[in-house]
Amino acid sequence: MFGYEDINLTLTFPVIYLFLSLFLIAAYSFYVYRYTIPQIQPFKKIVLVTLRVLALLILCLILFEPILNLSKKLTLEPSNFVFIDNSRSIRIDDGTNRLSTIKKIVNDFSVNASESNLTFYEFGNSVKPIDVDSLDKLNFSDGATNLQDVFKTVQNSEKNIASVTIVSDGVITSGSNPYYDAINLGIPVFTIGIGDTTQHTDVEIKKVLHNDIVYVETPTNIISTISNKGFSGDLITAALYEDNKFISQQTVKLSPSGIQNITFDYSPQSSGEKKLSIQLSSLKGEFTTANNKQVFYVNVLSNKIKVLLLASSPNADITFIKNALKRDENIQVNSIVQISYNKFQNELNYNVIDSADVLFLIGFPSDKTPQELLSRVITKIKDKETPFFFTLSSGISINKLQSFGNVLPFNIIQMIGGSKEVQPYLLPEQAANPIFQQTDKNPLNDWNNLPPVSQPNAVFSPRVESKTLAQIKMNNNVVNSPLIISSSFSGRRSIAVLAKDIWKWKLQIAPKGLDLFDSFIVNSLRWLRTGVDQKLVRVNTSKKNYSQGERVEFTAEVFDESLNPVSDAGIKIKITSQKNNYETDMQNIGSGLYEGSIIINETGDFKYSAEAVVNNHLLGKDEGSFNIGEIDIEMANPVMNYSLLNLMANESGGEFFFANDYSSLLNKLKELKINSSKEKIVTSEIALWSDTWLLVIAVLLFSFEWFLRKRNGML
């Protein structure tokens, strides 16, 4: 009926109640119009009763929540999907005339497009549908071959797909191996191999083994696996480069086995992300030199943490803190200690401020601190987000301290004058804090029995984002006033000890053999330094090396200070090369995750920086680098991947064809088009009770009834 296989109406309550309601409504309506004032003609009574019954019935029907179920049978026309490799590897000259061969295949398929119901796609960097009339416009210029995206396209299609045909050399340069995707489809996959299966005389860098993270001035090995075909006994030069600068080279005699390893010793001299590359010299008779180079990246970390101590005058606190830090050979300690106006223990060198990883402000600044020195320190903390350790040691100026603004982890509510002797009271919940860990298992007892130190008479309060670790204790009474405070907010970390003469904690416990003071200083440094690596904003590229014209993909994670995902940040990425600048925005995909991409038609090295902003507040930054087009991976492997193409076809119920013998495939596709029709039952539900038109009809019926009653002068 009406093209539907089945029409069904379901109600919330049993249908017998609906008929009972209909009977009651009809009886009520008849009773109302049995006697009218004035009397009207029987025909008019019938009309009025009918209108009343229909209106009330509609209202009653709505209460029963009727749902109309419609089922229709559809015949799905089978479609044969054809995917054509549009990557640059099709242009490799291996003697098989790849370009003209694939054009002939495409032409033959286009002739049979209608008869076999063929749907065409091109693939390379991505998968794109292509019309039959546009097949001759394929330019075979994509910089990557991603076969995995082919099967994602098939899986996401709602069509009745009878078969999948892939015309390609099968060499994957992007994405994962699609073997399992192919056999799990439940659809026959046919493959036509483009290119030659013969191994050519060639030298190739097969792979490079290296550590992703290395350390400054610490030697590490980089192992490169070299294969050769037909060059046994020849000499070749292998060179290592860092950021395109020559590092070292070796002359190697190629092995008769065809495979060998070359090891480079690499000792980075500075920290940061380094682009490394291994380059082989070319030999006469090589089929291609595109595979003679590999580019990779390593992260170089500082072997030593650079700490700068700043003090407004020589004091015991800075001496003991310096000695504690120097016990660790991985910590490089510099200091700027002021003796008098414009006079320092050593020559004032502003470079040590710029290179410092962590600052220790020991009674800094004072009234005699040069303004330039103070400005550089504040800039280092605010703009570079450099973590710092702070003490209220001798000589400090509270007025100049205010210039640090909100980077300090505490507020000074009121200065009273003078000082008081206080002991630390470590809060019980801080017993497991890594800042206070030492050789003794429980630090609470040791910390709560330390000798008193001197604290200015003032009212201190931690900032909202700060945490009180230890309060003060006077005459064995705990006072709700902070002594040690930590802050970790928006990528910036700090620790403040609101007292001076903390060196006494070292002398008092020395006879007991405990290392509480030294551990506290070193653990504080480690906690401060760790905050540098725990970024709230992390932005990465999907890989480091892209082909020319390939889409560069970015992913990002954004967290707040409590490490909760942030999903309403605005992220802009700025990309720079030696010639141009580019920008792109990232889109939120949920749970603090973002993605974005850009196509850059330029080759070379690129650096990117990203900022995440919420309500004009900067959450954090990240940066990195990538390369486009230095290695043309599409031209690196000139041999058809017969094993993959043949395996996917056979395991999925399809068949592999060589490029010179595929005529039987065209006949198979015609048969699949005829024999693969499917029927699909499409069911739809219409919730009549929520349809506005039912109420509109009921109102219209009541209105018409009222109109007729008034026309006839009825009460």
**Burial letters 687-708, b for 16+ CB under 10 A, else e:** ebeeeeebeeebeebbeebeee
**What 3-state class would DSSP assign to 700?**
helix
474 close to 420: Cβ distance less than 8 angstroms:
yes
β-strands 678-687, 67-76 pairing: antiparallel
Which residue, 237, 205, 251, is CA-closest to 224? 205
Q: Kindly list the distances between the CA atom of residue 584 and the CA atoms of 374, 512, 572, in Å, as whole numbers in the listed order.
A: 37, 61, 6
Place of tokens 């497009």: 113
Task: Map tokens 């008019």 to a residue.
Answer: 44
Classify burial at 576, counting beta carbons within 10 Å of its beta carbon; exposed 0-12, middle 13-18, buried 19 or more.
middle
- Which is nearest to 503 in space by CA: 486, 524, 520? 520
Low-confidence ranges of the chain (pLDDT < 70): 1-4, 75, 438-441, 490-491, 508-514, 530-534, 561-563, 677-680, 715
Taking the C-alpha atoms of residue 6 and residue 10, their distance in angstroms, rounded to an integer, is: 13
β partners of residue 595: 555, 587
- Cα–Cα distance between 166 and 194 in angstroms, integer? 10
Helical pair 42-63 and 692-711, crossing angle rounded to 10 deg = 160
- For the chain, what is the total number of helices (H) and then of strands (E)? 15, 35
Secondary structure E strands in 124-180: 127-129, 160-168
Query: What pLDDT is recorded for position 423?
Result: 95
- Whether residue 240 contacts residue 276, with contact meaning beta carbons closer than 8 Å, is answered with yes
Domains of the chain plus CATH, in order, are 6-73+686-711 (no CATH), 78-197+640-675 (3.40.50.410), 202-300 (2.60.40.10), 305-533 (3.40.50.880), 537-630 (2.60.40.1930)
CA–CA gap between residue 698 and residue 542 (Å, rounded) = 60
pLDDT at residue 594, as a whole number: 96
CA nearest neighbour of 89 among 702, 640, 551, 499 = 640
Name the residue among 632, 637, 619, 485 with its Cα closest to residue 563.
Answer: 619
DSSP H or E stretch at residue 102: helix 98-111
Rounded Cα distance between 325 and 337, Å, is 16
* Residue for token pair 């210039």: 403
**What separation in angstroms does the CA of 469 have from each of 365, 422, 442, 456, 504?**
24, 15, 15, 19, 19
Please report, for residues 187, 356, 379, 404, 528, the alpha-carbon distance to residue 376 in angstroms, rounded to integers and kept in the order given: 67, 12, 5, 11, 20
- Which tokens is 346 given? 């050593």
Number of Cβ within 10 Å of residue 330's Cβ equals 9
Phi, psi dihedrals of residue 580, rounded to the nearest 5°: -135, 165
Distance CA 36, CA 712 (A): 10
Q: What is the 3-state secondary structure (H, E, C) of 311-375?
A: ECCCCHHHHHHHHHHHCCCCEEEEEEEEEECCEECCCCCCHHHHHCCEEEEECCCCCCCCHHHHH
Distance separating alpha carbons of residues 124 and 150, to the nearest angstrom:
9
Helix (H) / strand (E) containing 397: none
Give the model confidence (pLDDT) of 224-248 as tens digits.
999 999 999 999 999 999 999 999 9
Amino acid at 305: I
Helix axis angle, 316-326 to 516-533, nearest 10°: 70
Q: Rounded to an integer, what distance in angstroms lies between the CA atom of residue 521 and that of residue 519?
A: 5
Centre a 10 Å sphere on the Cβ of residue 710 and count the other Cβ atoms it contains: 9
Cα separation, 708 vs 714, in Å, equals 9
Strands (E), 96-158: 118-123, 127-129
- DSSP label at residue 87: B
Q: How far apart are CA 657 and CA 194, in angstroms?
A: 10
Closest alpha carbon to 694 in 67, 66, 58: 58
Strands 388-391 and 492-497: parallel
Strands 331-340 and 305-311: parallel
What is the C-alpha to C-alpha distance for residues 132 and 119, in angstroms, rounded to an integer? 8
Report how far residue 544's alpha carbon sits from residue 7's, in angstroms, rounded to the nearest whole number.
Answer: 58
- What burial class does residue 538 get, using C-beta atoms within 10 Å of its C-beta: 0-12 exposed, 13-18 middle, 19+ buried? middle
pLDDT score recorded for residue 511: 46
**What's the token pair of residue 289?**
């030199």
Angle at 660 between CA 659 and CA 663, to 5 degrees: 95
> What's the Cα-to-Cα distance from 686 to each of 56, 131, 369, 396, 625, rounded to whole Å?
21, 38, 80, 78, 55
Question: 434: which 2 tokens?
Answer: 């890594």
> What would the pLDDT profile of 661-706 be if each residue is shown by its tens digit?
999 999 999 999 888 766 667 788 888 777 888 888 889 988 988 9
Buried b / exposed e across 588-627, counting CB within 10 Å, b at 16+?
beeebebebeeebeebebbebebbbeeeeeebbebebbbb
HEC string for 504-552: HHHHHHHHHCCCHHHHHHHHHHHHHHHHHHCCCEEEEECCCEECCCCEE
Q: Is 712 exposed, middle or buried (0-12, 13-18, 19+ CB in 10 A)?
A: middle
3-state secondary structure of 72: strand
Task: Tell me the residue ranges of DSSP E strands in 267-312.
Answer: 272-280, 293-301, 305-311
Q: What is the 3-state secondary structure (H, E, C) of 594-651?
A: EEEEEECCCCEEEEEEEEEEECCEEEEEEEEEEEECCCCHHHCCCECCHHHHHHHHHH
